[in-house]
């Protein structure tokens, strides 16, 4: 994520705030993170040496509730990235009406170069540094890039050891055996899928007639196209960090996922039982995939992939963002002019934080919901949020991004005004 991403996020916030006639005091409040903690984590390596890693945790805004957001382990993590992600999480939680503010954390590290035991020590060191900055009623971490449920289990265990009490609600995205929730694994992709199904209803299209390209075949990208394929959508292009495959005949998603788990590469194959056969396909770059003439483009990998360099070449009719910030703010207006519908990340990838909320609720109440109940609760919240965003767009001739931000900012505005703004105190 480039260093100007946070400024780009602020520019978009300020622009939409003015467009939606949001109280300037509210927008001004959201221009600054409430608090960001930086720490140096000392980790004993397997060879006996000590290494130091820079860690961050941002609690951006907690007017609607305790902050919530993932922790990522990645070599490009920096303060600007963490604060941008925490701002987006603030907006996201408000869009789907969760009683949370936005938070985010990260460690500047390449976890692929660490042993499993070194990753565990790093995870526990992160919690020791952040133990007084997080908590079930203050800030609740979750998995993100290169972190997973096992790492969340280590983090929860370390927090409980420090506090000398059981606190399963301090972390979400945990293993089921440690208080995790069913339905959390595919929640991000399922949330995006539910948004696409609402688009389908609004436009009255037939799934069998629609082509889909997904850039990024991780958890979110895989799960959304898996669900779409079951409904008849044709998945014609898939990519990972190494490149893309394309076939106008479409691919079998599960076969490609199976091959990727075996080889760590996206391969154009069809698998029946344990036998996989290569199917006819073209090799593309990730940049070429972004510009394919498909009905639905799903950027599910990196930020900033749709920008001023390629905006004129974008041919997709609909863009559904699973990655955080895949479209830079400078091209928002151009996409609107081209008639391309963009379902923004603050809505379409909100399934993950929504089911994290469900996990938090279950932990706090000592109950467990079935997978069917989790799916139904997620569907209800995502569909309701989508239709609220759609209605604002229809009434004001806004893009869906402008509408989603408007919905979120109005909810935050109501909470801030309840405490009193300049207008109240100057009467």
Q: Please give the helix or strand (H or E) that residue 297 lies within, else none.
A: strand 296-299
The upper half-sphere exposure of residue 231, i.e. CA atoms within 13 Å in the direction of its Cβ, equals 20
| Nearest C-alpha neighbor of 250 from the set 225, 287, 274 | 225
Name the least confident of 106-110, 302-306, 343-347.
302-306
Q: Is the per-residue pLDDT at 316 higher than 60?
A: yes
Element (H, E) at 236: strand 234-240
H/E element, 141: strand 139-143
**Residues 346/92, Cβ–Cβ less than 8 Å:** yes
What's the pLDDT score for residue 265?
Answer: 75
Q: Residue 217 — very low, low, confident or very high, per pLDDT cuts 50/70/90?
A: very high
pLDDT at 78 over 50: yes
What is the pLDDT, as a whole number, of residue 66? 98
Q: Of the candidates 315, 121, 133, 282, which has an alpha carbon nearest to the alpha carbon of residue 211?
A: 315
Q: Residue 132 has what pLDDT?
A: 97
Q: Of 49-53, 278-282, 294-298, where does mean pLDDT reach its minimum? A: 278-282
Q: Which CATH number fits domain 35-169: 3.40.5.90, 3.40.1010.10, 3.40.1280.10, 3.40.50.10860?
A: 3.40.50.10860
Q: Do domains 35-169 and 187-348 have the same CATH topology?
A: yes
For residues 192-205, give the mean pLDDT.
97
Residue with tokens 């079930």: 136
Tokens encoding 289: 């995939």
Of 265, 300, 297, nearest to 189 (Cα)?
300
> Residue 227: its pLDDT value, please?
97
Q: What is the CA radius of gyration of the chain?
A: 21
pLDDT digits (tens, 9 = 90+) for 336-383: 999 999 999 999 999 999 999 999 999 999 999 999 999 999 999 999
Question: In this structure, are residues 104 and 86 in contact, taking their beta carbons and an 8 Å threshold?
Answer: yes
The question of whether 104 is a catalytic residue gets the answer: yes
pLDDT tens by residue, 220-265: 999 999 999 999 999 999 998 888 999 999 999 998 888 777 777 7
**pLDDT band, very low/low/confident/very high, at 273 (cuts 50, 70, 90):** low
pLDDT grade for 1, boundaries at 50, 70 and 90: very low
- If phi > 0 it is left, if psi is from -120 to 50 it is alpha, else beta; for residue 264 that is left
pLDDT at 2 over 70: no
Residues belonging to the chain = 427
Q: For residues 119 and 159, give the distance between their C-alpha atoms in angstroms, rounded to a whole number.
A: 16
DSSP structural state of residue 70: E
Q: Which two tokens stand for residue 425?
A: 């105190």
Q: What's the pLDDT at 275?
A: 61
User: H/E element holding 107?
Assistant: strand 101-108
> Which of 122, 118, 123 minimizes the C-alpha distance to 154?
123
Domain map (residue ranges) of the chain: 35-169, 187-348
The whole-angstrom separation of Cα 106 and Cα 109 is 9
**Structure tokens belonging to residue 117:** 């035991």
Question: Which residue of the set 92, 104, 197, 267 is catalytic?
Answer: 104
Strand partners, 318: 296, 341
Report yes or no: 88 and 324 within 8 Å, Cβ to Cβ.
yes
pLDDT given for residue 280 in this prediction: 78
Mean pLDDT, range 283-309, rounded to an integer: 94
Q: Is CATH 3.40.120.10 what the domain over 187-348 is classified as, yes or no?
A: no
Strand partners, 297: 213, 319
Q: State whether residue 69 is helix, strand or coil.
A: strand
Query: Is residue 74 within 8 Å of 145, Cβ to Cβ?
Result: yes
- The full DSSP string for 246-276 is E-TT---HHHHHHHHHHHSS---EEEETTEE
């Amino acid at each position: 994520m480039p260093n100007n991403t946070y400024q780009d996020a602020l520019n978009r916030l300020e622009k939409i705030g003015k467009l939606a006639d949001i109280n300037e005091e509210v927008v001004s409040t959201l221009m600054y993170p409430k608090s960001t903690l930086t720490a140096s984590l000392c980790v004993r390596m397997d060879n006996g040496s000590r290494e130091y890693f820079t860690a961050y945790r941002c609690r951006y805004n907690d007017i609607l509730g305790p902050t919530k957001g993932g922790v990522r382990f990645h070599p490009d993590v920096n303060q600007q990235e963490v604060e941008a992600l925490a701002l987006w999480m603030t907006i996201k939680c408000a869009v789907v009406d969760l009683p949370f503010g936005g938070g985010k954390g990260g460690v500047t590290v390449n976890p692929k170069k660490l042993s499993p035991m070194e990753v565990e020590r790093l995870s526990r060191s992160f919690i020791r540094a952040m133990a007084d900055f997080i908590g079930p009623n203050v800030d609740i971490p979750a998995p993100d890039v290169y972190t997973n449920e096992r790492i969340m289990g280590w983090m929860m265990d370390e927090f409980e050891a420090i506090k000398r009490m059981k606190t399963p609600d301090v972390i979400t995205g945990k293993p089921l055996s440690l208080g995790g929730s069913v339905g959390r694994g595919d929640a991000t992709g399922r949330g995006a899928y539910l948004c696409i199904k609402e688009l389908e209803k609004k436009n009255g299209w037939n799934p069998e007639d629609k082509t889909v390209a997904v850039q990024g075949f991780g958890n979110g990208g895989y799960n959304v196209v898996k669900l779409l394929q079951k409904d008849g959508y044709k998945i014609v292009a898939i990519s990972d960090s190494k490149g893309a495959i394309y076939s106008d005949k479409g691919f079998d998603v599960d076969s490609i996922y199976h091959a990727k788990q075996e080889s760590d590469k996206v391969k154009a194959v069809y698998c029946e039982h344990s036998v996989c056969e290569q199917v006819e396909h073209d090799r593309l770059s990730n940049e070429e995939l972004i510009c394919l003439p498909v009905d639905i483009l799903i950027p599910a990998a990196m930020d900033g992939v749709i920008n001023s360099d390629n905006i004129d070449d974008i041919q997709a009719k609909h863009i559904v963002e699973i990655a955080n910030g895949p479209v830079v703010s400078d091209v928002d207006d151009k996409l609107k002019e081209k008639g391309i519908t963009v379902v923004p990340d603050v809505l379409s990838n909100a399934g993950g934080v929504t089911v994290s909320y469900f996990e938090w609720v279950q932990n706090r109440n000592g109950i467990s919901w079935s997978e069917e109940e989790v799916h139904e609760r997620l569907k209800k919240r995502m569909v309701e949020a989508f239709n609220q965003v759609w209605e604002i767009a229809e009434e004001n001739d806004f893009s869906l991004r402008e509408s989603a931000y408007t919905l979120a900012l109005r909810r935050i505005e109501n909470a801030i005004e309840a405490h009193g703004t300049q207008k109240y105190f100057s009467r």
